[in-house]
């Protein structure tokens, strides 16, 4: 986890705690939140592909909020399961790629945006893959400057601002750097 996210997480959990308590009280499961987040991101991606940036940004933001709440709910109320962890990781990959596929569609005639979005997709997947593969070999490599939370923040801000090319450039560059940071981490360990 990046230092920025480590610093923000306690504040986020303090502010989100009443929401998580309410969700638990009305019997919303962490897996329901995970799937709800995917649905919101999928619908947001549809609107993004059709050029409705503000609506897309709102829906993708809400989908990411669901993703941030699911794990907190599971930890706080001791609802963690192996299936839930697996489902969350799989859904995260869909949630990463759907908005970027929408951007590829929206900017299919813009070579620069298309190229950087393609590189952002590669970097996003390689960042996730290198961590998963390292953990599969019993080595923890949770290092890097652009993990999923940072990618999501950059993506959402770029959608709201309309500076999608710059957001894709940041994600492409820094997610691929993160991949190499993880390769280096694994090598050292």
DSSP 137-181: TT------S--HHHHHHHHHHHHHHS-HHHHHHHHHHHHHHHHHH
185 near 141, Cβ under 8 Å?
A: yes
pLDDT surpassing 70 at residue 17: yes
pLDDT single digits (tens) 43-88: 999 999 999 999 999 999 999 999 999 999 999 999 999 999 999 9
pTM over 0.85: yes
Q: How many residues does the chain have?
A: 189
Domain range 3-188, CATH architecture: Up-down Bundle (1.20)
CB neighbour list of residue 183: distance below 8 Å, 6 or more residues apart: 130
pLDDT surpassing 90 at residue 10: no
Share above pLDDT 70 across residues of the chain, in percent, rounded to a whole number: 98
pLDDT single digits (tens) 89-109: 999 999 999 999 999 999 999
User: Distance between the two ends of the chain, CA-based, in angstroms?
Assistant: 17
Max CA pair span of the chain? 49
Q: How far apart are CA 155 and CA 103, in angstroms?
A: 10
């Amino acid at each position: 986890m990046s230092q920025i996210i480590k610093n923000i997480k306690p504040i986020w959990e303090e502010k989100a705690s009443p929401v998580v308590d309410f969700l638990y009280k009305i019997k919303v499961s962490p897996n329901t939140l995970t799937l709800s987040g995917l649905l919101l991101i999928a619908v947001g991606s549809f609107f993004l592909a059709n050029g409705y940036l503000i609506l897309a940004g709102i829906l993708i933001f809400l989908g990411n909020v669901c993703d941030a709440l699911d794990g907190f709910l599971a930890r706080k109320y001791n609802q963690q399961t192996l299936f839930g962890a697996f489902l969350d990781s799989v859904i995260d990959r869909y949630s990463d790629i759907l908005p970027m596929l929408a951007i590829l569609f929206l900017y299919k005639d813009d070579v620069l945006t298309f190229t950087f979005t393609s590189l952002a997709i590669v970097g996003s997947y390689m960042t996730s893959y290198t961590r998963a593969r390292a953990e599969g070999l019993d080595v923890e490599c949770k290092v890097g400057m652009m993990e999923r939370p940072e990618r999501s923040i950059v993506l959402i801000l770029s959608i709201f601002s309309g500076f999608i090319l710059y957001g894709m450039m940041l994600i492409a560059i820094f997610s691929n750097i993160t991949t190499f940071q993880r390769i280096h981490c694994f090598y050292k360990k």
